[in-house]
Structure 1
Amino acid sequence: MRHQTKEERVADYLREGIISGRFPRGSKLKQAELAEKIGTSITPVREAIKLLEAEGFVLGSSHRGAVVAPFDIHATEEIVDLRMMLESKLVLAALARLTPQHLEELRELQRQIEEAAKKDDREAVRVINYRFHELIYMAAELPQTLRFVRILWARYPFDLINRLDNRIERASIEHREMLSALIVRDEAALLVALRMHIRAGWDEFKASYTD
């Protein structure tokens, strides 16, 4: 796995925070506060926010601070279809490259997500969900495809979906199905599990959503 720059590490921290809901939609990301919290200078924070603005996670990057992008339900159906197409490509490419170490890390993440689900710790589940997918997709070594997937993630309501009753328990089960397919290198089962995971969360959210 390639070395990450400081701004890439900060961008990953912020991306994870936005997806998990730690940085809510519409909230401001203030560079000085973030730099102090992370323990770095303002420069990598500023550059990380520019990366996230390009991906669509934040709006209005400037000295006054960036704002976490709002959610638009009208764009999400197309995003779901694109996610399934591109993430299927990533997960199949990763299947040939996952090492025993990768699988051990995924087993540990699955253990963590199940523990968090039992405690109804929704923020923890969202963070672990992000790390689970990111670990797999980074292993695919298709950086341009992953870049487009992150652009889609920026517009996807992960935070809202995981507020649904019992959704985190169902997501944990869906992850277990994916992990089982990864361990035995079963392409067909892996694609079914991934697509069901993506589609299930969106369908449940759409059924419950009101403007």
Structure 2
Amino acid sequence: MEYRTKEDQVADFLRERIISGVIARGSRLKQAEIAEQLNLSITPVREALKLLEAEGYISTDSYRGARVVPFDASASSEILTLRLLLETQLVRAAVEKITAQDIAELRQLADEFAKAFESGDRATARGVNYRFHRRMYDIACMPQTLHFTQILWARYPFDIINAAENRGQDAVAEHDEILQALASGDVTAAMLAMRKHIESGWTVLKSAR
């Protein structure tokens, strides 16, 4: 990931923590604290926050500074449709470029996800889940598609989905299915497995409303 700019790395660091719940929705983000935590200057942190604001993860004003916005609990079927379109295309491209080393890295992340859910550590599981999907989509080398996918993630209530009783077990099995398709180079199976994974989470969301 060395090719990515410092602001991109900071933005990814914050996205993962927002989606995982480590940084609570509504929390204030202080540039100086983030810079100190990451041992960076203020400049890449400031630029990362601008990027996250453009994507919809945070809001800023001159009085309250930067704050994490709430998930959209009323996420519409339009977001589902767009996620299905974009993320299956990212998977399709990943199948064409993936290496054995990539598969090994994704398998390690999938195993970490399963272990975190089994131990009841939902925040860690959500963070690892973010890294699993982000790593897979990085392999696709479709930066614009990934950018729009991340905008959709900012509006999606992953916290509600992952709080469901059996969601962890289902997600573990779905990750395995995706990895098997990637490892075998089966484009159709990989796209169908990702579609199933996203739709399964949507089903959980609808039942939780």
TM-score, normalised by the number of residues in structure 1: 0.93
RMSD: 1.5
8 A contact 2:89–2:191 mirrored in 1: no
Contact 1:49 1:61 in 2 (8 A): no
* Conserved? CA contact 1:53–1:61, under 8 Å: no
How far apart in 2 are the matches of 1:126 and 1:72? 17
1:158 matched to which residue of 2? 158
Hey, what does 1:74 align to over in structure 2? 74
Separation in 2, partners of 1:174, 1:120: 19
Task: Indicate the residue corresponding to 2:96 in structure 1.
Answer: 96
Q: Report the alpha carbon displacement of residue 62 of structure 1 after superposing the two structures with TM.
A: 5.3
**Please, what TM-score do these two structures have when normalized by structure 2?**
0.94
Q: SS state of the match for residue 60, structure 1?
A: strand
The verdict on how the C-alpha distance between 1:45 and 1:62 changes in structure 2, with shifts beyond 3 A counting, is farther
Alpha-carbon offset, residue 76 of structure 1: 2.9
May I ask how many residue pairs the two structures share in their alignment? 209
User: Quick one: distance in 2 between partners of 1:148 and 1:107?
Assistant: 25
Post-superposition offset of 1:63 = 7.8
Equivalent residues of 1:17, 1:23 under 8 A apart: yes
Give the equivalent residue in structure 1 for 2:18. 18
Q: Percent of aligned positions with the same letter in both sequences?
A: 52
Cα distance per residue 1:154-179 (max 9 Å; x no partner) = 10111221111121221111111111
1:61 and 1:137, CA in 2 relative to 1: closer, same or farther beyond 3 A? Answer: farther
Q: Could you tell me which residue of structure 1 aligns to residue 180 of structure 2?
A: 180
Indicate the residue corresponding to 1:203 in structure 2: 203
Report Cα offsets for 1:105-141 as digits up to 9, x if no partner. Answer: 0111122112112112111111111111111111111
Runs of at least 5 residues in structure 2 that lack an aligned partner in the other structure: none
Q: Distance in 2 between matches of 1:64 and 1:208?
A: 32
Determine whether 1:132 maps to 2:168. no
Return the letter of the residue paired with 1:85.
L
